[in-house]
Structure 1
């Protein structure tokens, strides 16, 4: 049994929650911005979504505490998803 005291992560989780909430509000306002092309709006929304997915995976799924090789393995499907999104955006705006 470990003799180390368990460190509370409540403050860290609340900060990440606030960041995710802020990014969600930003996502809601991006489509309403006039003067931005569809490509710019789609790209901004995609970048924010990937950033939010990173935050959830890194903090709430505890990837920050894992070994580097496991983090790399977790990044492979994320990379595939980003690639698929880029392909879809490219085909939509042809």
Structure 2
């Protein structure tokens, strides 16, 4: 199954990552979301296609800030898990 997901806008309130942080966040989120979808697929109501003006996932807690920037990777994974909770197999 081929899954094409387009996220037009991701709103992260009260969070400043700076230019490189945004790209790292997006990469981490896409990698984790791909892994989650490969493992669990899509919920039945999304399998024939569809669109939604927005999805509201579970509230996230921010990982601790680390000098290495790994907190951005962890945040990307948490965002992916939140998106997956809305569209992934076994949900809704």
TM over 0.5: no
Greater length-normalized contact order (CA 8 Å, ≥ 6 residues apart):
2
Using the size of structure 2 for normalisation, the TM-score is: 0.30
More helix by share: 1
Using the size of structure 1 for normalisation, the TM-score is: 0.30
**Between Structure 1 and Structure 2, whose CA radius of gyration is higher?**
1
